[in-house]
Amino acid sequence: MARLNAAFAGNPRATDVLAFPSGDAEHPGDVALSLARVRSQARAFGHSVEREFGYLLTHALLHLAGLGHDTDARQRAMRRAEEQVLAHVGLPRGGAADDLGAADARRRVGAAGAAGAGGAPTAEPLVVPAPAKINLGLEVCGRRADGYHDVVTIYQALEFGDAVHLREAAAIEGVSSVAGLRPADDLAFRAAHALRARLGTNRGVYIHVEKRIPVAAGLAGGSSDAAATLLGLETLWGAPRGEVEAAARSLGADAAFFLRPGTALGLQRGDDLHPLPPAPRRWVLLVRPQAQITARAAYAELRAHEWSGGGATQANADALRTGRLDPALLTNDLQAAAARLVPDIAQVLHALDAAGAAPALLAGSGPTCFGLFPSEDEARRAQAEIRPRGWWTVLTSFLRPADAR
């Protein structure tokens, strides 16, 4: 800890951008990680300087681990990533890595596996970010025979979110992230049980979620926590990526998206995912009235004449493929239905419009709404105008995935 603090205090390179090659011939390109941005994220999560670099390295290694199969090239890339992070802050290889806490979780997969279900817990938790999301367009095409709806949507992950702490344990245990919710009903715990069942193992994990995303707010906090749990267990249990993806799909479309959060087109039930280039940077003001709406309730209130078919969102997906985002094409077919359930939604949207949002839109199934702004200053002015109304507000921005930072 002291060495990391000293490295920050005396190393002006701590605000530089660290770039290293992926080393995987199947996935060329650079992975650029901004240390300043990661430090800011980690502070928002309440982490110490020690945890900040744990967050950085964990994020880098989880990204690289998802690039493909267990190839030698990928393993070499992961080792280079760790070495360069350590070198960047002036720490030697070897013992210094022990100061990084969750940062060395990738290298401890073998040790964790050897400990087994009855082994001692890991000394430090593995901390995995769980970002919130909004939908840059959500259009309903019709009702399916299975009772769900076909949709066309663009998922966009945000910098704001939860953090999931995981450590080896004798069983799947912990405290639910939501007061009064049984662990059996918590998506993070359900994710762990689903993966363990697929693996046929008796491994355990202790789960603790630092909860910031409101519940039943249209921001997919539970699904993101579930995906973060699965990504962490890919490390702690050495779970194959295919089993992790299958477990995520069993928990819903949102959980599958959060395995590779960024920008993606979702079709059919929303679970037919097509990654898109990162959306142009926008600042996002989230505003939520004091209410909750489940997705089930919003879709039940939706009327057939409110379906729009998906053309606008498909057009925006095409625009994103050329580096553009067209605010005029953003629409959410659930907005009218959600406003009937929670009339305050109309007031929130009006306030965002008046504050200069371009556009103001319902987030998912609501009741959270969001406004997009081209600059942080404009978004902060809007937040200052809206906050006296007593609504919950958070200022954030689009998540820039590791390969776009």
Residue 254 annotated to the active site: yes
> Cα angle vertex 100, ends 99, 105, to 5°?
125
> Cα angle vertex 215, ends 138, 387, to 5°?
85
Active-site residue identified among 24, 99, 225, 254: 254
Strand partners, 149: 143
Nearest to 78 by CA among 232, 224, 278, 235: 235
What single letter denotes the amino acid at residue 125?
P
Helix (H, G, I), strand (E, B) or coil at 338: helix
Q: Which long-range contacts (CB under 8 A, 24 or more apart) does 140-147 make?
A: 140/302, 140/306, 140/307, 140/308, 140/333, 140/334, 141/307, 141/309, 141/310, 142/307, 144/269
First-residue to last-residue Cα distance in the chain: 26
Nearest to 149 by CA among 164, 161, 139: 139
Question: How far out from the chain centre does Cα 141 lie?
Answer: 26
Residue 211 annotated to the active site: no
Active-site residue identified among 133, 162, 225, 333: 133
Q: Report whether 162 contacts 209 (CB < 8 A).
A: yes
Question: How far out from the chain centre does Cα 130 lie?
Answer: 4
The encoded tokens of residue 251 equal 């928990």
Biggest CA pair distance of the chain: 64
Nearest to 49 by CA among 31, 60, 35, 61: 35
Catalytic residues: 133, 254
